[in-house]
Structure 1
Amino acid sequence: MESKETSEREPLLSKEAAHALNVNDDSDTEEEDLRKKEKTLTLSQVVKQKAQGRKKALTGPLVLAMFAAVIGCSFQVGYATGVLNEPQNVLKEFINATWCERYHSSIHPDVLLILWSVIVSIFCAGGMVGGFAAGYLANHIGRKNAMMIINIISVAAIGLQAGAKYAKSFEMIIVGRFLIGVHSGLSTGVAPMYLNEIAPLTLRGAMGTINQLFIVLGMVTSQVLGLKEILGTDDLYPYLLGAPAVAAVLQLVLLPMCPASPRYLLLNKHQEEKARKALMWFRHTVVAKSVEHEIVEMKNEHERNKHLPKVTVCQLFRDPMLREPLMIALVANISQQLSGINAVTYYSIMIYEQAGLNDTDASYATVGMGGIMFVMTGISAVLVDRAGRRTLHLVGLGGMCIFTVVMTISFVYSDPLNPQKEWISYISIVGMISFTIFFSVGPGSIPWFLTVELFAQNARSAASSLATPCNWAANFMVGLLYPIMQKNLQDYSFLPFTGLLALFWLFTYIKLPETKGQTAHDMCLLFESRVSGKPINELRERDIKA
């Protein structure tokens, strides 16, 4: 009965493909078992079986490539996100001093508030620009080459920000923030794509989470270095803004040692031998046949897609079978930012002070929150391929929704002038930390690689070129508008996020399928089934006959 069901799912393996999948097994027994099953197992099932049986999938070369990608991309995104939080008062004093020197009067508080909001949020405007170009760049010069080139933008941005004090120009910070935003938008589009394509099937979820883990690591690093005891002073903040140059240099040194994405080499450049050698390097083997099953899987995807035209952005909206996964990808990315997480990331010092903490306690609470966020993101990397993407995303959104209510209640009832209500300030800390924990569980990492998993190769770049800018656009809105929301709504400034999180949870529960362990073809059949109303098995049987 089982063999009958499996035979309906996908085309049976050819003799050559089945033979390629039967090499380099751990024992003669496993090889014999697989040969007995090769007539009933489908391609994706055999690939999954082989991947699950490989205990040493995380090789040294794979770790090197992963580190080279995330240190220059993801780490810098996180650093740029959190770097202005701790030294904001020092930087505001610099802006005011520069203003006084030019115009012989102090800057108006409202003008300073708007100017500071622009400095914070223009980073996201740059992210939108970079996000639009990420797919094009990744497809035309390759994922690896794209990461190398965008480091030029990073170095220019770092130089402008670090030199602003000496040039007495806060405009240099604004331009530098925009450029590092462009770098970050490109990075968040290209790095997850590279990580997904170099990872074996069983590690793809975890590898995608590594992207978010290094974003958080960069954020925590900037918060620690930004403390007054380290670099968060008037004399040393230029070094704080220039520190990411170390990450850029590391990537420029390490990434040339690593091959390009095997999937890109085979499916985009049609260079099978180079793709095979790249896979052998990543899997740390000198036996070509040991990676043949992955070559077969990629070829199988290529055969399904070679007659399909490259999907454009307009076609994503026109084709009903592409429109639904596109809406899911867009909402997942928007929910990551409109959850309110960047209100916490950009303005946690201000929020903690609003809750009654002094400046020093607010700084240490922010660093502690970042450390917990880092640990929980690491735990999420372990859970994502066990619990699944859908489950973790729902748990994360639901927990965040609950704790925005807790934070609002603590803000309303806190009173810094009343010692008897001092304990309420600690509830706000617990609420904010819990809020970031639930963000780290799912919404923090899953949207970055969900788009790649929802689409086939021919639609992936177009989908990413929409999803990434939408993510940054939502980020921009929060960075720009939250100070105004906080000024007008005061203690109730997180309630809008409560409503949005409830809507995002409902949409995710209804629409998001589980992508764990699924191939791109599996997802295509799922969405076709939803649109046409036909059972998936019937669609698989149609593919077999075709």
Structure 2
Amino acid sequence: MEGKQPESEHSEHSDAVRDDGVEPYGPGGKFLQVLGDVPPTFEVINQVSGVLRDPWCRPVTVCGRMRISQCHRWHPLRLRGVISVILVMDQFLDRFGEVSDTAPGSGFYKGLMTAMITLGAFIGAMNQGWLADAYSRKYSIMIAVAIFTVGSVLQTAAIDYPMLVAARLIGGIGIGMLSMVVPLYISEISPPEIRGTLLVLEELSIVVGIVVSFWITYGTQYIHSHWSWQLPFLLQIVPGLILGFAAIFLPFSPRWLASQGREQEALVELAKLRRLPATDARVQKEWSEIITDAKFQAATVKQRHPSLAGGSTISKVRLEFAGWVDCVRPGCWRRTLVGAGLMFFQQFVGINALIYYAPTLFGTMGLDLNMSLIMSGVVNVAQLVGVISSLWTMDRFGRRKLLLTGSVAMCISHIIITALVGMYSGNWPQHTTAGWTSVAFLFVYMLAFGASWGPVPWAMPAEIFPSSLRAKGVAISTCSNWINNFIIGLVTPPLVQNTGWGAYLFFAFFCLFSGLWTFYFVPETNGKTLEQMDDVFNDCTGAEEMAQRANLREQMASQSIAS
């Protein structure tokens, strides 16, 4: 609503005691009681500080740190930073001559090698859902780490181009699996008061990994042997092994246990996570909500697909497929379109193309190789600054305004770079001012992306889907990210090689289109409740679910009194 500051997900928990008389967990409760009233500007800082300091939240913090260190959930955190430098190393080009600029078809081979890891991630993300449901979030993390480690070892030991491509595909499968299960696990074990903050920290962890990995790889280029490119590939095994080993000691997700009918075990694990007695009112209330949700999910499946409620293997497979189809049925298809569309434009505005091939692109602006590498690292820092700013701006200004502003700023930057590269790329030494102006607008682009199209597409999908379809809706959005990431990685090298300034014009068009699409199709979701989300998307999916949940709670309360 214009003229009214929307209530953020954080602020609705800011009181020390909720309306139901139960004190909230963590930074929304105990931590803010200690601080007292604080200026709104610093609210999100207190939220993050609460995540790090509150003992009830430490299990979540540990997982978050693992995620930052790990090669990702994710866009290949380290791999995005690593590959941009490795692609210009002489030792690497000597071993894999197919990707050398002088080799025939090098643009295609370079794109295939770069994009293969995102294709693997798409495959991994598509298949992780049933693994996480069948074997638990904890064990599926360990499986994903094992696959990722095998891929990293094979990349390090690759002796020819086909082996390297296959190794990156295997490693990508592990990354895609982690990209699904780690955020799911963290959201399931975290106190409600900090889930919104963790959504913003998601993109921050990605960019921190990119920055750190880039500068590590920049340093290894001075090793005058094959270890200059093998060491970065080998080092990414370390955080993977740390995560895999630490996963042994992680608790099972209480929500997964509840979905398996292991209700008392869910209570025990929840009490451990909150570091409170199982009899504590807060633990009991959250446990009751978890059990209600698990029963609601089961009841919803039976209601939507009564003929598939049997326990046979064929019924389970058909039911899994039907769940995906539900995401595109009337009542949910607009939400799915928004989630998948955000991820599409996140890739097609050109961010990964600039990160993967930044040294090459800086070369088209007239910079020598060493300066191109240095500036590639600096623009990653610019993106990090933009992401940090979104910790404050996302809830204050809303998702939609950030997306629109980011699209405009990125489009203008691309157009100016297109004009300068098109006019002066034939003689950069005589036009150094134009070259550095291009670099400056690339910085503007990275800042704008980091503050808008970087974090928002990861935050919105978790907000817009009703609970019964949230897991699959977020999965579709994530898979959209990976498959479009794959396409961008595949087409960018020949695009840059054959068109020069045309690559920037290509991405400028999609920046413009992203703004128009956002203006006409993306609603503001900041601070909206489930019922309000129905009004936003002009359906009644959420309200129907709320009514069903209320009836289920009444039935459970009646059964409890009767017993």
TM-score (norm 1): 0.80
Residues 416 and 282 of structure 1: CA distance in aligned 2, closer, same or farther (over 3 Å): farther
Match of 2:173 in 1: 182
Q: Deviations over 1:55-83 (max 9, x none)?
A: 94653232113223443352772111221
Q: CA RMSD in A?
A: 3.5
Aligned length: 490
2: distance between equivalents of 1:54 and 1:468? 25
Shift of 1:242: 0.7
Given the alignment, which residue of 309, 312, 317 partners 2:323? Answer: 312
Residues 538 and 262 of structure 1: CA distance in aligned 2, closer, same or farther (over 3 Å): closer
Match of 1:150 in 2: 144
- 2:369 pairs with 1:359: yes
1: distance between equivalents of 2:287 and 2:163? 48
Contact 2:92 2:226 in 1 (8 A): no
The higher-RCO structure (CA 8 Å, 6+ apart) is: 1
Shift of 1:177: 1.1
Contact 1:205 1:385 in 2 (8 A): no
- 2:457 pairs with 1:457: no
Match of 1:252 in 2: 244
Given the alignment, which residue of 185, 193, 204 partners 1:194? Answer: 185
Task: Name stretches of at least 5 consecutive residues in structure 1 with no aligned partner.
Answer: 1-17, 31-51, 101-105
Shift of 1:455: 1.9
Shift of 1:134: 2.6
2: distance between equivalents of 1:232 and 1:414? 35
1: distance between equivalents of 2:461 and 2:402? 16
Match of 1:530 in 2: 538
Shift of 1:228: 5.0
- 2:377 pairs with 1:377: no
- 2:202 pairs with 1:203: no
Q: Deviations over 1:427-474 (max 9, x none)?
A: 121211221212111222232343232223332333234322221111
Residues 129 and 81 of structure 1: CA distance in aligned 2, closer, same or farther (over 3 Å): same
Given the alignment, which residue of 265, 284, 287 partners 2:257? Answer: 265
1: distance between equivalents of 2:467 and 2:549? 18
| Helix, strand or coil at the partner of 1:85 | helix
Match of 2:80 in 1: 81
| Letter matched to residue 312 of structure 1 | G
| Helix, strand or coil at the partner of 2:85 | coil
Shift of 1:397: 2.8
1: distance between equivalents of 2:520 and 2:476? 22
| Letter matched to residue 175 of structure 1 | A
Contact 1:148 1:255 in 2 (8 A): yes
Q: Deviations over 1:484-525 (max 9, x none)?
A: 2223322131212222222222222333333344455653x3
Shift of 1:94: 4.1
Q: How does 1:262-411 map to 2 (within 5 A)?
A: 262-266=254-258, 268-286=259-277, 288-299=280-291, 301-302=293-294, 304-309=296-301, 312-317=323-328, 319-411=329-421
Task: Name stretches of at least 5 consecutive residues in structure 2 with no aligned partner.
Answer: 1-16, 30-45, 302-318, 553-563
Match of 1:414 in 2: 424
- 2:21 pairs with 1:22: yes
Contact 1:158 1:242 in 2 (8 A): yes
Q: Deviations over 1:333-362 (max 9, x none)?
A: 111111111110110000000001110110
Match of 2:156 in 1: 162
| Letter matched to residue 353 of structure 2 | A
Residues 492 and 53 of structure 1: CA distance in aligned 2, closer, same or farther (over 3 Å): closer
Contact 2:220 2:232 in 1 (8 A): no
2: distance between equivalents of 1:138 and 1:426? 49
| Helix, strand or coil at the partner of 2:501 | helix
TM-score (norm 2): 0.77
Q: Deviations over 1:291-326 (max 9, x none)?
A: 334334445545654421165222322x21111111
Shift of 1:146: 1.6
Tell me whether 459-468 or 325-334 shows the greater mean CA deviation. Answer: 459-468
- 2:115 pairs with 1:130: no
Shift of 1:276: 3.4
Contact 1:75 1:216 in 2 (8 A): no
Shift of 1:131: 2.0
2: distance between equivalents of 1:362 and 1:204? 39
Match of 1:111 in 2: 105
Contact 1:334 1:474 in 2 (8 A): yes
1: distance between equivalents of 2:192 and 2:97? 55
Contact 2:73 2:182 in 1 (8 A): no
Tell me whether 496-505 or 255-264 shows the greater mean CA deviation. Answer: 255-264
Q: Deviations over 1:116-167 (max 9, x none)?
A: 2211111121122112113222222232322121001111111111112xxx
